[in-house]
Every structure is written in structure tokens, then in C-alpha cells.
Amino acid sequence: MLFRYMLKELRNGPRFALLFILNMSLGLLGFISLDALKRNFDDRLQDSARTLLGADLSISARRPLSENETKIALESLPRGTKSQTTVSLYTMAATGDQSSLVELRSIDDPYPYYGDIILEHSPSHRNAPPLSTSPSLWIAPELAMKLSLKQGSEVTIGTQKFRIADLIKEDTASSIGAGMAPRIYMSRKWLESTGLMAKGNTATHSMLYEIPSEASIETSRIALKTAIPDASIRVRSYQESGQDNGRMLGYLSDYLGLVALVAFSLAGIGAAYLYRDYFERRSSSIAILISLGLTHNKALLLYLFQVCFLGIISAIISSLLALGLIPSLMVLLKDFSPVSFNAYLPWQTVVLAIVIGAIGSVFICLPMLQRLRYLKPALLFHEQSTETDGLKARGLIAYIPLLLAFYGLSIWQAHSLQVGSLFFGMSVLVVLIFAGIAWCFLTAARSFSRSRILPLRLGAMFLRAHPSSTLSAFIAIGLGSTLINLIPQLQSSLLRELDNPAGQKLPSFFLFDIQEDQVNELQQLLTTLNSKPQTTSPMIMARLTRVNDQDFSRDHDEKSDVETREAEREQSSRNRGVNLSYRSELAKGESIDAGQFFKGIHTGDSPGEVSLETNYASRLKIKLGDLLTFDVQGLEVKAIVTSLRQVKWNTFEPNFFIVLQPGIIDDAPKTFLMNIPDLPADRKIPTQLAIVKAFPNVSVIDVTALVAKITSIVEQMALVLNVMAYLTSFTGMLVIYSIAQHQALARRWDHNLLKILGAEFPVLLKASAIEFVSISGLASLVGAAIGLITSYAIAKMVFKGVWHAQFALPIYLSLGLVSLCLVTAMGATIRILGSKPELQIEA
């Protein structure tokens, strides 16, 4: 009965039902697409991170793990966990008179659980003959070049001869970070026969674990850490293995959460606006029903059911649309992305959409629907509804479920209490600001209602004739504008963080341990090799002994006894020593967060100046003005922290956490670091060999693979940022379109009445244009400004100050929004004015 009546009600208001479903579907489509994309990107990034470790979890130690330890470790992990052993060590590979340092990794089948080793003669090592069948190796090409080896050559490792089974083309399973020497793979079966594992060896023994997909990695990691309390055993999850990009991955995750929230909020704004209007128009019909005997509670139930039904229909429609949209989106992305995406709609997203569609719609409409319980048939005899103070108070209470649900969703989608709370708090504040501005706007419109210019007078009259409608349209457009502006501003800020400085070239080699008297000779050699270092940085090893005259070797906040693995690591890290550098100006990719960079060269006996990287300073709880004491070669050096720097680590330049003012320690014993940019592949190995031959103490690390891997991850991140920003803007525009369309249609009664009274078509059109341009123009501009301010606040609080605003963007977006509202409203007005007025009034 209730269902039948609900359908009848919807049939009576087909335009509302259609617009509500269209709006919710569009909003939810944006939400679903973004959520599906986010899950896809998340999966891709998680997969990338997994390949860095080659497993979900690992334990490793510089000693063999006992049988008991490996048993306890496996027992602590979920049932079905697979494990394998690897042993890594540095050793010498020899052939004839020549030998070279190599990083040997001895492995079991099937190594690794994630990732692949692509060989010269095999697209994957999994298809190649296993290394366990005979003493054989896969070797890095630089070793082959250095020792003149090829497939089938013999090489000696320890006391065992090995045959080169293949050359490594690409090692996707290699851990991020460049090794000191070329890598070779051997089966663990042959390791003992090399005689390398005698007492005193420096091999690293690891167990790799593949956890069943349904189990939580974090829970497993904690269980593993608890089961193995020995601090000499390192427990790592794949999420910890790619820390170079950790900060950006964290930012990206927060950003995606915000985007999903924005999409949802846009849908909510549209739905709330439409329902408000619909409910006001249906009030009289409901009052009639109540006067005919329908109880208030049944009336409430009827409309709740109706809203819920519309929400579910919208979710189903948007899921069906998303099923078609997502694969095309993924195909499109394939052309732009270095990685492939899975074109699927995760079931979790569909369930989420239905739940949000149903419950979200109810919560959004509840503040209007609660009025039903107090609706009196006497309303039929009133021109306009009258609200008592009691009703207003109850109306405010009805917002509580919506606010709580929105708050919960904010935290859930942002994966962070801080980000979620920030977003929620700002949303509430922004609504209040818009309500205040809208009220001022309506008051200001009064002065135009006596204007001699007829279209202006009519426009002001339209605005003031339906104050609640104007108010809600203004708030909805303004909020939409805020959100549409917010995401591209954050996108632009994060993209700047990912960008390399202009003119920056990616390095091929890092050179370290260059002695002071070798710098010029090395530069000359590089010139003869047709190359040139991009940067040359001095590096001085020191110990940070005191901060503000307090001993730094122990954390004074911790208990003095080393009780936990973390406490031991913390104490050890405080005593690892620090690398100092000095220079008079900021490096490329550095910017000052707080304080001032050095004022000239230090002279005199007073403490000099020191600049710290912001996150490093915060980790050590050091702030501006603190006095640091270093021990440099037994000598005490004091310096005051005068600046905190933001360092872009993806510039691939030698970066330092601590930079001293020139003149303090310039003559201390030091080595130099150099990076050599962009060498063509065919010149890399000859250059490397020439440097090592001329300067045997200088270590040359080929960072090409590392740089390529990080660059690829950065490209993926940039792609995510761009796609999400465009999709959000598109979703927002669609919601604004539906609001403008509905607002224009809501004026049909006024327009037709004026038409019957003799108003001319152009005058009505101008009046309508004035109304919409003023609402959308002011709301868009204020929204753009608030979006800009909000992006600054979020950037400062969530993205650690990464904020690079695009000031032209708000202007373009505001113009776009105003044009959209104007065109939509004009289109609707022309349609209304073109139809027969009697019909419109009768309807």
C-alpha cells in the first residue's frame, strides 16, 4: 500500500524524481568512478611496493636464522602463509686474472613472490631453466662488460666455478636503492660449495613471506614483531620498503581520500537542494493527506521510504553507468600511463554506492522530512509556511545524523582522523560563511528592487520573492565552486612537489668518497670523457653530541634502559653520526620553510648558523633557535639553527639533512659527492670503468635503474593527480548544471504570470540573466576564494606546507561556472517562455 502510494507520489512529480535520480546518479557516478580508480591506483601502487621487497613481509639478520626462529615466525603468521629463504652477500667474482666485487643473492624457487627478473634470453626468469639444476648464475650486464663475460662463460665465486646462464635485462624484483656492486643470482643449493659462509662472514639471511590475500599485512607484521623480539632481526613489510616515496605516497592517499569526499559532497549538495525545493512544493499535498487521516508517522515513513528508494535507484543506475565508464577510462589511461590498470568495478565500491545512495539520501533529506511530523492541515490556508522556534530547533537536531554520518565518512575516506576532521570542520565553516554572505546578498538585492531599469528590478524581485530558494541555490553553487576549486589547487601544489626543477637532468651515476685533491683531476677526466658533474658537494662526517647543551646520544623522553627493539634502534640511530655539508646558497629543489638561510660567511668565535631539513628537525624534536653541538674529528663545533628547509628528494641531487654556514668547518677532513647526469646507455659502462681505473678509491654507483623506478612511480602519481582533478571538476559541473536547471524551472510560475501580464520576452530573459549571473557570479567568486584559502590550510596542515597556488585557475573556473549557470538557466527560461503560459500555471 505504502509502496503503491509512494510510486503514485513519484508519478505526480516526475520532474523532481528524474532530476533527483539524475543528480544523485551523477554525483554517485563521480564517487564510484573515483573510488574505483582510487582502489585501482592503490592496488597498482601496492603492487609496485610489493615488488620492491619481493614479498609481503620479510625478516632478516646478519646471522643465520635458527630453525626455532623461523618456526616461531611462521607460526605467528596467518595459516596458508608461504615462506622462502634468501642469502645476500658481497663477494668477488673472478675470471682469469680479473675480479670484481659483486652483490650475490642466493635464492630458492619460486623467488620472488612479487616482481620478475627479465633475462636477455627469457622474458621472465620463471620460464628460464632453474639455477638449481647446475652451478649457474644470472649476472648484471655491467659485470659482463667489466669481466668480458657472456652467456656460457665461466666465472669463479669463492672456490666454485659457475656458468653464466643468462644476463639480467631488468630486475623488477630488486629492492629500491642502488647497490654498491652489480648483482648476481645463484641458487641457494650452491652457496655452501663456494666456501664463502665461513665464520665472520657478513651475509644477510632473510625469510620472505607471502601472506594469504585476505589477511591483514599490518596485523601480520605486528604479530611477527611480537613473536621475534630479538632486536638483531629486522622485520619489514612491503609498505616500509619503498620509503623514498613514502611521503608522496602518503600525500597521494590523503589527496585521493579528499577527492572521493568532494565527489560525495557534491552529490549531497545537489540532492539536498533538489529535495528542499520538492518538499516545499509537496507540503500542501501532504497537509491534505494528513487532514484526510494519514498519521504524521506514516507520512514520514512514506517519504523516508521514497527517498531511500530514489537513492537505491540512483546507486544502481550509477553502478551500471560506471561499469561502462570505468573500462573506457582505463583504456584511455593506458595511453598516458607507463603501467596498465585493471578495468574492473570493485564490488566494495558498488556496495558502498548503494549504502551511501540509500542512507545518504535519507540523511540528506531528513532535516526537511522531520517537518512532516509537525505539519498541520491549517497550512492549507497559509500563503507560506510558518515555522515556530520549536520547529526550528527540532530542524537543527535533524541535521545531527547527517553531520555525524558526514563526519564518519570524512574520516573513513581520508584514512585519517586529522584529515577527515579538518575536511569536516572546514565544510561546516564554509556552509556558515555562505549562509552569512547569502543573507547579505538578499539584503543588498532590496536596494535594486526599486530600480528604474525594469530587468534589474525584476531580477531583484525574483531573488527576493523566494528567499529560501535563492539562499539554498547560492549555498549549493558556492559550495560546489569551493570544492571544484579546492581539488585542482591541491593537484597543482602536489604536481609542483613531483616536478623536477627547470633544467634539472636525471643522474646516471653517483660518485662518492672523492678526496679533496682528486676533485679537479676527476673533473678533468670527466671532460675528456665528454661529461660534466651536475653537482659537487663536500661531506663531513660528525657526531651530533648535544642539543641546547643536553646530551643527544640518548633520548631523554625514553626510559634509560633499552627495552624494546624500537628503543634500541632509536638509540642506535642517535649514535650513527651525521653527514654535514656547507654551502652559501640553497640547492635546486630546496626552499625555506622557516627562518632565513645563511647571512654570508661565518667569522669569529660565536656559534655559526645551521640549516636543517624540516622533517628531520621535527623527527629529532629540534626547532629554530636551538643550539647544536657537533663533534668533528674530536673538535667541538657549535651552531644555531637559523633555518628549516624543505628538500625535494626527487631532484636526485646529493641532499643533506644538515647544512652548515660556510666558514665554520670548511677545512675539516672531507670527501666529495658528485652526480653525473644523463649518460647514453652505450657510454655508461666505459665511463664507469675509466673513473674506477683512474681513481680506485672512488665508488661509482649506477642509479639509472633506481631513478627510472622512482620516476615511473612519480609519473603514476602525477597521472592520478591529474585524472582525479579533471573528474572532480566534471562531476561538480554536472551538479551545478542540475541546480541551475532546476532553479530556472522553479521560476516558471513567476515568468508565465509576468508574461500573461504583458511582460516582454527580452525583458524577462534579461531579468532571468541578471538573477542567475548575480547568484552564480557571487557564489562562484566567493567559492573560488574560499577554495583557495582552504587549499592553503589543507596544504599547510596535511601536506606539510606543499602549496603552490594557481591564481588564474579560480578566475577561469568562476567564468566557467557562471557561463554554465547562465546558459543552462537561459535555455530553461527560453523553453518556459516559449510554451503556453496557461499550461504552465495549471501544472
Partner 1 sequence: MQAQHRVMKASIAWFFFIFAPALCAKPVILSIGDSLTFGLGVPPEQTWPQLVQNKLQADGMKDAKVINGGSSGATTAVGLSTLKFHLKRSKPDLIIYALGANDGLRAIDTATTYKNISQAIDEIQKAGIKVLLFGMKAPPNYGEKFPKDFEKIYSRVASEKKIPLVPFFLEGVAGDPSLNQADGIHPNPKGYEKIVTKIYPVIKGQL
Using CB under 8 A, list all residues that contact partner 1.
61-63, 89-92, 94, 99-101, 157-159, 180-181, 195-203, 231-234, 513, 515-517, 541, 543, 545, 553-554, 571-572, 575-577, 601-605, 631, 633-636, 662-663, 666-671, 696-697, 699
Closest contact distance (angstroms) between CB of 162 and partner 1 is 13
Closest contact distance (angstroms) between CB of 120 and partner 1 is 26
Closest contact distance (angstroms) between CB of 630 and partner 1 is 12
Other CB atoms within a 10 A radius of the CB of residue 14 amount to 9
Cell 618456526 belongs to 71
Strand pairing class (57-61; 234-237): antiparallel
Nearest CB to partner 1, comparing residues 261 and 700: 700
Query: Which residues partner with 684 through β-bridges?
Result: none
Report helix, strand or coil for 357. helix
Nearest CB to partner 1, comparing residues 328 and 633: 633
Nearest CB to partner 1, comparing residues 315 and 632: 632
- The cell for 340 is 596498465
Closest contact distance (angstroms) between CB of 695 and partner 1 is 9
Dist CA 558 CA 349 (whole Å): 44
Nearest CB to partner 1, comparing residues 121 and 556: 556
Closest contact distance (angstroms) between CB of 509 and partner 1 is 16
Query: Which amino acid is located at 261 in the chain?
Result: L
- The cell for 822 is 547562465
State the number of CA atoms in the 13 A half-sphere of 784 facing the CB. Answer: 19
Nearest residue to 378 (alpha-carbon basis) of 367, 370, 390, 386: 386
Closest contact distance (angstroms) between CB of 603 and partner 1 is 5
Closest contact distance (angstroms) between CB of 60 and partner 1 is 10
Query: Which amino acid is located at 446 in the chain?
Result: R
Nearest CB to partner 1, comparing residues 182 and 420: 182
| Pair 732, 555: CB distance under 8 Å | no
Question: Who contacts 804 (Cβ-Cβ below 8 Å, separation ≥6)?
Answer: 492, 493, 496
Dist CA 68 CA 71 (whole Å): 5
Dist CA 474 CA 747 (whole Å): 15
- The cell for 186 is 645463484
DSSP string, 783-843: HHHHHHHHHHHHHHHTSTT-----SHHHHHHHHHHHHHHHHHHHHHHHHHHHS-HHHHHH-
Closest contact distance (angstroms) between CB of 556 and partner 1 is 13
- The cell for 241 is 620498503
Nearest CB to partner 1, comparing residues 65 and 333: 65
Closest contact distance (angstroms) between CB of 548 and partner 1 is 17
Report helix, strand or coil for 11. helix
Nearest CB to partner 1, comparing residues 70 and 201: 201
User: Angle 767-772-777 (CA atoms, 0-180°, nearest 5)?
Assistant: 130
Closest contact distance (angstroms) between CB of 229 and partner 1 is 13
How far, CA to CA in Å, does 661 sit from each of 612, 735, 796? 11, 55, 28
Nearest CB to partner 1, comparing residues 19 and 514: 514
- The cell for 347 is 564490488
Nearest CB to partner 1, comparing residues 227 and 519: 519
Nearest residue to 639 (alpha-carbon basis) of 611, 619, 620: 611
Nearest CB to partner 1, comparing residues 155 and 286: 155
Report helix, strand or coil for 811. helix
Closest contact distance (angstroms) between CB of 69 and partner 1 is 12
Closest contact distance (angstroms) between CB of 223 and partner 1 is 21
Nearest CB to partner 1, comparing residues 421 and 571: 571
Nearest CB to partner 1, comparing residues 601 and 841: 601
Closest contact distance (angstroms) between CB of 155 and partner 1 is 12
3-state helix, strand, coil in the chain (%, to 5): 55, 15, 25
Cis peptide before 401 (omega within 30 of 0): no
- Helix 14-53 × helix 2-12 angle, to 10°: 100
Nearest CB to partner 1, comparing residues 156 and 172: 156
Cell 605467528 belongs to 76
Other CB atoms within a 10 A radius of the CB of residue 31 amount to 32
The DSSP call for residue 122 is B
Nearest CB to partner 1, comparing residues 196 and 329: 196
Closest contact distance (angstroms) between CB of 796 and partner 1 is 36
| Pair 307, 299: CB distance under 8 Å | no
The DSSP call for residue 178 is -
